[in-house]
């Protein structure tokens, strides 16, 4: 039996609802044309505006409710509803405006709606892609276990490097000292450190190992193996932090803009009834 996903949730329930809403809205827009043209203050404009406002409030409430009572099914339903109904909402609001835009609170509310919908699409994408990539990257390991293994590799590499030539010792020491893993938000989101000292150390060790004595070569091979393994662990740790940060960062855009949308929508409604 094929497993359901957010797109075919409950036999495409929200897709069907969204498609019906869009078709009815377009039909009404084409059939009922006011004498002065389409605009938000017409009978149709008010109708589309009321439906749009109700959809915004319902989706905001639904998102809060689904976060409080989570299960696999409810999360899928929440994501499916937000994808399809969010798409339908942009169509309704555009028709509600009659394609009239300007430097006012009404267009501000429209712009905030687009930002919320687009950031919601990005959030849905991250939750579809990154959890699987996190599992593939980490396997049975955790971030703490990776960091512990990196620390152990640092200690062992430093011990071996102490009996090696100064150039090799300095290279290893710099890699252990200057390598950072998710030091800041930007580095976490990128998933790499520019001019990574660990990667540079592996490249430098390849050249520095050419002029060693037979006794040193055995230790060198062991050191090189440790540094290559350490670099792999560092990359995996950075990848995990990148996936985690990208999963979380969209909420810092989506939620504040959603709140701003509710405020702007309220101001839009008040302005319409008070001044129009």
Domain spans, the chain: 1-31, 36-70
- Return contacts of 159-165, CB within 8 angstroms, 24+ apart: 160/219, 160/222, 160/223, 160/226, 161/223, 163/219, 164/212, 164/216, 164/219, 164/220, 164/223, 165/208, 165/212, 165/216
Please give the share of the chain, as a percent, with pLDDT higher than 70: 92
Mean pLDDT value of segment 204-216: 86
Task: Give the range among 150-154, 194-198, 225-229, 250-254 with minimum mean pLDDT.
Answer: 250-254
pTM of the model: 0.74
**pLDDT tens, 98-111?**
888 888 888 999 99
* pLDDT score for 3: 55
**pLDDT-based confidence at residue 254 (cuts at 50, 70, 90):** confident
Mean pLDDT value of segment 154-181: 94
Q: Do residues 137 and 240 lie in contact, with contact meaning Cβ atoms separated by under 8 Å?
A: yes
């Amino acid at each position: 039996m094929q497993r359901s996903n957010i797109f075919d949730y409950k036999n495409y329930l929200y897709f069907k609802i969204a498609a019906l809403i869009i078709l009815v809205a377009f039909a009404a827009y084409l059939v009922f044309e006011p004498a002065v043209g389409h605009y938000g203050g017409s009978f149709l404009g008010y109708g589309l505006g009321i439906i749009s406002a109700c959809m915004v409030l319902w989706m905001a409430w639904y998102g809060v409710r689904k976060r409080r009572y989570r299960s696999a099914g409810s999360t899928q339903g929440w994501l499916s509803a937000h994808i399809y109904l969010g798409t339908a909402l942009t169509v309704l609001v555009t028709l509600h405006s009659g394609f009239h835009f300007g430097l006012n609170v009404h267009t501000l509310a429209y712009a905030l709606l687009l930002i919320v919908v687009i950031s919601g699409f990005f959030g849905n994408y991250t939750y579809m892609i990154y959890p699987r990539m996190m599992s593939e990257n980490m396997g049975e390991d955790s971030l703490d276990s990776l960091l512990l293994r990196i620390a152990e590799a640092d200690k062992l590499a430093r011990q071996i490097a102490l009996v090696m030539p100064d150039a090799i010792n300095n290279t290893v020491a710099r890699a252990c000292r200057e390598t950072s893993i998710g030091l800041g938000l930007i580095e976490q989101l990128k998933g790499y450190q520019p001019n990574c000292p660990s990667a540079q150390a592996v490249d430098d060790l390849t050249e520095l190992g050419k002029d060693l004595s037979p006794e040193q070569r055995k230790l060198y091979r062991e050191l090189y193996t440790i540094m290559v393994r350490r670099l792999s662990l560092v990359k995996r740790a950075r990848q995990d932090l990148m996936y985690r940060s990208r999963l979380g960062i969209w909420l810092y855009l989506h939620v504040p803009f959603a709140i701003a949308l509710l405020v702007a929508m309220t101001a839009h409604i008040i302005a319409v009834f008070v001044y129009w």
